[in-house]
Structure 1
Amino acid sequence: MKGTPLELPEVGWLDAARLAAGLDRHQRLDLAAHARVHPPLPAPGRDALLTLAEAVGLPGRGGAGFPFARKARATLTASDRTGAPPVIVINGAEGEPASAKDKMLLARTPHLVLDGACLAAAAFGAEEIVIGVAAGSPGEISVPAALAERELPCPARTVCLPERFASGESGALVRGINGLPVVPAPLKARAADGGAGGVRRRPTLLCNAETWAQLAIAARLGPDAYAAVGTAAEPGTTLLTVNRPGAVPLVVEVPTGTRLGPVLAACGLQPGAGVLVGGYHGAWLHPSVAVDAPLSRAGLTALGGALGAGAIVVLPHDTCPLGELARVTAWLATESTGQCGPCRHGLPDAAEALALLAAGAAEPAVLESARRALGAAQGGGACSHPDGTARFVLTALDVFSADVAAHLSGPGCGRPVRGVLPLPPAKGARLEVDWSRCAGHGLCAVLAPGLVRLGPHGYPAAPAVPVSRWQEHGARRAVNQCPALALRLRRPGG
Structure 2
Amino acid sequence: MSVPPVRNVGPARLTAGLNRLPRLDFDTHRTVHGPLPPLSLDDLLVLATDIKLTGRGGAGFPFATKLRAVAQQAARRRTECHVVVNATEGEPGSWKDRMLLSRAPHLILDGALLAAHALGARSITVGVADGEASADYLSQALGERRMAIPTRVVVQPERFISGESGALVNGVNGRSPIPPGRKVLAAESGVDSRPTLLSNAETFAQLAVAARLGPAGYTSVGTSQEPGTVLLTVGGAAAFPAVIETPTGVRLMDVLRLCGATIGPGVLVGGYHGAWISRDAVLRAEISRAGMKAVGGALGAGIVLPLGEGSCPLGEAAQVAQYLAGQSAGQCGPCRTGLPDLADALAMLANGTGGEAAMAAVRRVAAAVNGRGACAHPDGTARFVLSTLDAFPDDVAAHLHRGGCGNLVRGVLPVPRALAGRKLAVDWARCDGHGLCATVAPELIHLDGNGFPAFADSAVPEWLEGSARRAVRRCPALALRLATPAR
Band of TM-score, shorter chain:
over 0.9
Deviations 1:218-248 (A, max 9, x none): 1111111111111111000000000054867
AA matched with 2:425: E
The reply on whether 1:154 has 2:146 as its aligned counterpart is no
Query: Partner residue of 1:302?
Result: 294
Q: Is the Cα contact below 8 Å between 1:116 and 1:216 reproduced in 2?
A: yes
Aligned partner of 2:285 among 278, 287, 293? 293
Query: Partner residue of 1:338?
Result: 330
AA matched with 1:214: Q
Aligned partner of 1:104 among 99, 106, 117? 99
Query: Partner residue of 2:90?
Result: 95
Whole-angstrom CA distance in 1 between matches of 2:122 and 2:64: 19
Whole-angstrom CA distance in 2 between matches of 1:459 and 1:330: 21
The reply on whether 1:123 has 2:118 as its aligned counterpart is yes
Superposed displacement of residue 117, structure 1: 0.4
Superposed displacement of residue 213, structure 1: 0.4
Superposed displacement of residue 486, structure 1: 1.5
Secondary structure of 2:315's match?
helix
Whole-angstrom CA distance in 2 between matches of 1:123 and 1:388: 34
Q: Is the Cα contact below 8 Å between 2:262 and 2:307 reproduced in 1?
A: no
Superposed displacement of residue 110, structure 1: 0.3
What stretches of structure 1 move > 6 A for 4+ residues in a row? none
Q: Is the Cα contact below 8 Å between 1:352 and 1:465 reproduced in 2?
A: no
Aligned partner of 2:342 among 350, 357, 361? 350
Superposed displacement of residue 375, structure 1: 2.2
Listed as ranges, the gaps of 5+ residues in structure 2 are none
AA matched with 1:315: L
Query: Partner residue of 1:3?
Result: none
Superposed displacement of residue 39, structure 1: 1.7
Q: Is the Cα contact below 8 Å between 1:100 and 1:249 reproduced in 2?
A: no
Deviates more, 1:172-181 or 1:234-243: 172-181
Return the TM-score normalized by structure 1. 0.96
Query: Partner residue of 1:446?
Result: 439
Whole-angstrom CA distance in 1 between matches of 2:285 and 2:434: 55
Deviations 1:32-88 (A, max 9, x none): 110110021111101110111111110000011111111111111111122221111
Deviations 1:311-344 (A, max 9, x none): 1111112111111111111101101111112212
Aligned partner of 2:70 among 69, 75, 86? 75
Structure 1 pair 395/190, CA: closer, same or farther in 2 (3 Å)?
same
Return the TM-score normalized by structure 2. 0.97
Superposed displacement of residue 301, structure 1: 1.6
The reply on whether 1:324 has 2:319 as its aligned counterpart is no
Query: Partner residue of 2:178?
Result: 183
Superposed displacement of residue 130, structure 1: 0.3
Query: Partner residue of 2:260?
Result: 268
Query: Partner residue of 1:457?
Result: 450
Q: Is the Cα contact below 8 Å between 2:236 and 2:307 reproduced in 1?
A: no
Indicate the RMSD between aligned Cα atoms, in angstroms. 1.4
Q: Is the Cα contact below 8 Å between 1:9 and 1:103 reproduced in 2?
A: no
The reply on whether 1:166 has 2:161 as its aligned counterpart is yes
Whole-angstrom CA distance in 2 between matches of 1:155 and 1:447: 50
Whole-angstrom CA distance in 2 between matches of 1:81 and 1:372: 46
Secondary structure of 1:200's match?
helix
Deviations 1:90-129 (A, max 9, x none): 1110111100000001110000111100001111101000
Secondary structure of 1:488's match?
strand
Superposed displacement of residue 249, structure 1: 3.5
Deviates more, 1:434-443 or 1:105-114: 434-443
Whole-angstrom CA distance in 1 between matches of 2:128 and 2:216: 33
Whole-angstrom CA distance in 1 between matches of 2:215 and 2:370: 37
5 Å matches for 1:55-70? 55-70=50-65
Aligned partner of 2:424 among 431, 451, 475? 431
Deviations 1:455-481 (A, max 9, x none): 223222243333111111111111011
Whole-angstrom CA distance in 2 between matches of 1:424 and 1:97: 7
Query: Partner residue of 1:215?
Result: 207
Q: Is the Cα contact below 8 Å between 2:237 and 2:262 reproduced in 1?
A: no
Structure 1 pair 366/305, CA: closer, same or farther in 2 (3 Å)?
same
AA matched with 2:42: D
The reply on whether 1:478 has 2:474 as its aligned counterpart is no
Superposed displacement of residue 377, structure 1: 1.8
The reply on whether 1:136 has 2:131 as its aligned counterpart is yes
The reply on whether 1:467 has 2:446 as its aligned counterpart is no
Percent identity, please. 56
Query: Partner residue of 1:488?
Result: 481
Query: Partner residue of 2:14?
Result: 19
Deviations 1:257-289 (A, max 9, x none): 211001101111232110001111111000011
Secondary structure of 2:378's match?
helix
Superposed displacement of residue 151, structure 1: 2.3
AA matched with 2:58: G
Deviates more, 1:432-441 or 1:260-269: 432-441
Whole-angstrom CA distance in 2 between matches of 1:25 and 1:167: 33
The reply on whether 1:28 has 2:57 as its aligned counterpart is no
Q: Is the Cα contact below 8 Å between 1:75 and 1:86 reproduced in 2?
A: yes
Listed as ranges, the gaps of 5+ residues in structure 1 are 1-5
